[in-house]
Chains A and B, each alone.
Chain A
Amino acid sequence: MAPRLVDENYLKEIEKARRDLRALISSKNCAPIMLRLAWHDAGTYDSKSKTGGPDGSIRFDQELNHKANSGLKIAVELCEQVKARHPVISYADLYQLAGVVAVEVTGGPTIDFVPGRKDSMVSPEEGRLPDANQGARHLRDIFYRMGLSDKDIVALSGGHTLGKAHPERSGFEGAWTKEPLKFDNSYFKELLNESDSGLLKLPTDKALVEDPKFRYYVELYAKDEDAFFRDYAVSHKKLSELGFISPSRLALKVAVGAIVASAVAILSYYYEVHRKFILK
């Protein structure tokens, strides 16, 4: 996925869109569904085939109609309001920016956002996102395929600190925490709380406590919110950039490549010259 042109005007539009998103997400209290939209656009990435990922493809009915995306049309429509005012921004960037802002306005960490994602017209096949009914093995299948790690799996699951499940969408019901509009480490505290609090725990949530490698992170995040925020910010950024090379990073790579190539050329030349003189 080649990056798009990110000039000064584009960056200005991103900042204006960011402010519009803050106002929209705060006033409509829709941070959870915006976060889910960003995650479901990005989470289709396959690091082997380099297909899927945060490319705006989720806006097409073909993908919106996937079972895992039930209910997300609302979020796509809300984002349309912002896209209408800032048409130059790609859908891919817009959805990831919405995810970042959703975490910010609910009191979560500041996540670094780099613009430049290109939109794709191609939707991946159904089945790339996790199935809430499954366990640890399934989570690893899905997330390792994206190129993410055990730590990412647990940290990102902390996104369930926001929002609730709906019977008409996923089939499950209710919030994971007592304050579904507040981003904090409550999800992990509740996960370790064995008593029945009436709060939701999906089979995939419980898997985090049952698997020893995952459990280590659950316990860490339950007792240290700063650690959770730090790891979450990194994992969220990673997820939002799967398969995306930002223009500045690309330029850096090209520059480094050029320097290395010219260094090799120069050294080879001197080596040859040196050799000729020595042999003579």
Chain B
Amino acid sequence: MAFPVVDTEYLKEIDKARRDLRALIASKNCAPIMLRLAWHDAGTYDVSTKTGGPNGSIRNEEEYSHGANNGLKIALEFCEQVKAKHPKITYADLYQLAGVVAVEVTGGPTIDFVPGRKDSNICTKEGRLPDAKKGGKFFSKSAKCQEEGYGNMVSGGLHNSSKLFTRKHLLRLSGAPHLRDIFYRMGLTDKDIVALSGAHTLGRAHPERSGFDGPWTNEPLKFDNSYFVELLKGESEGLLKLPTDKALLDDPAFRPYVELYAKDEEAFFRDYAGSHKKLSELGFTPRSKLIVKDSTVLAQSAVGVAVAAAVVIFSYLYEVRKRMK
């Protein structure tokens, strides 16, 4: 499939679709599942093979029937309503726009959106998205240690039980390797991992979908830094913490970000907006320069003409003066 031509008409359709999405997402209270759709379309990216990424491939049954995508058919159907009114827009752009609007209408930061993604029907193999259960691969072995002394260790009391826990052992216990495998493969960083995890401020897990149950925060339709506040609080009645969520606390590189975002919502919003934009543009070169093609090319041409004219004039005058002497 070819790249869409992002002309004035396409941009107008994007704006109309944005408004339609606001109305749809606000009235149906479906911001969480729309955000998950955008993330799961984008999160299949592999930076070394340049495959996967935000290309609309998730609309194919082959991909939406992956275990990790359980329940997303609902979001696909909502988006179809908008696509029907604005057929010009690519599915890839539509899903990412839905993700951006989902964050906006729930009170989150404004995320810069650049259109122009092309659609693909090539689905990547299952397994590229994170597995929520993989936070504590070695937890069962050392669950006891985790409760008793591990907490102390992470917060600085390493001298207490340093004999038992080498650095390598520590990293294994933290369960962070899986998250890093997945996100580094996309070309994202530790900061991105923590900031993006903050999106669990929205929504809930469903037993019939992921197998887990419940919201992470007390206001699952409000985008704020509660996810991090709750994470640091520890166990809370009725609130969910996946193994992959807990892994953020246990890892010494992730934890500083959790603490920062828990106490500074502005910092979280700023970093989240940056990371979300990155994710939504994996493998996509925003041709924003092309969008303003008309005016910049015109300006460049004008400068070129002016310089050429100046050179011609000066050369002529130089020749004239030379002849006169």
Chain A interface (Cβ < 8 Å from any Cβ of B):
19-20, 22-27, 29, 31, 104-109, 179, 181-183
Contacts and interface: CB of A to CB of B under 8 A. Distances in A.
Contacts of A183: 23
B227 interface: no
Given A23-B221, A27-B221, A106 B27 contact: yes
B19 A26 contact: no
A22 B106 contact: yes
- For chain B, what secondary structure do more than half of its interface residues adopt (helix, strand, loop), or is it mixed? helix
A183 B109 CA distance: 23
Contacts of B105: 22-23, 26, 105
A183 B104 CA distance: 17
Interface in B189-230: 219, 221-223
B108 interface: yes
B23 A106 contact: yes
Contacts of B26: 25-26, 29, 31, 105-106, 181
B29 interface: yes
> Chain B interface residue count: which class?
20 to 34
- A-B pairs, 4 with minimum CB distance: A23-B107, A107-B23, A26-B26, A27-B221
Contacts of B20: 107
B278 interface: no
Interface in B100-155: 104-109
Contacts of A181: 23, 26-27
B185 interface: no
A108 B107 CA distance: 17
B29 to A, nearest CB: 6
A100 to B, nearest CB: 13
B25 interface: yes
B106 A182 contact: no
B258 interface: no
Q: Tell me which of A29, A104, A105 has the highest count of chain B C-beta atoms within 10 A of its own C-beta.
A: A105
Nearest to A181: B27
B31 interface: yes
Interface string B141-184: 00000000000000000000000000000000000000000000
Contacts of B221: 23, 26-27
Contacts of B108: 19
Nearest to A12: B266
Contacts, number: 57
Interface in B10-29: 19-20, 22-27, 29
B215 to A, nearest CB: 13
- For chain A, what secondary structure do more than half of its interface residues adopt (helix, strand, loop), or is it mixed? helix
A260 to B, nearest CB: 37
Given A22-B107, A105-B22, 9 more contacts: A23-B106, A23-B222, A26-B106, A27-B222, A29-B26, A105-B26, A106-B23, A179-B27, A181-B23
A52 to B, nearest CB: 31
A23 B218 CA distance: 14
Nearest to A182: B23
Contacts of B31: 26
Contact of B19 (A23, A29, A108): A108
11 contacts: A22-B105, A24-B107, A25-B26, A27-B219, A29-B26, A29-B29, A104-B22, A105-B22, A106-B26, A107-B23, A109-B19
Nearest to B26: A26
B59 to A, nearest CB: 23
A198 to B, nearest CB: 20
A24 B224 CA distance: 13
A20 B29 CA distance: 15
B13 to A, nearest CB: 12
A26 B26 CA distance: 5
Q: Tell me which of A23, A26, A104 has the highest count of chain B C-beta atoms within 10 A of its own C-beta.
A: A26
A179 B104 CA distance: 22
A107 B22 contact: yes
Given A105-B105, A107-B23, A182-B23, A26 B223 contact: no
Nearest to A21: B107
Interface in B59-94: none
Contacts of B222: 23, 27
Contacts of B29: 26-27, 29
A113 B29 CA distance: 26
Contact of B107 (A19, A29, A106): A19
Contacts of A108: 19
A106 B19 CA distance: 8
Contacts of A105: 22-23, 26, 105
B28 to A, nearest CB: 9
A108 to B, nearest CB: 7
A248 B14 CA distance: 33
Q: Tell me which of A106, A108, A109 has the highest count of chain B C-beta atoms within 10 A of its own C-beta.
A: A106
A24 B22 CA distance: 14
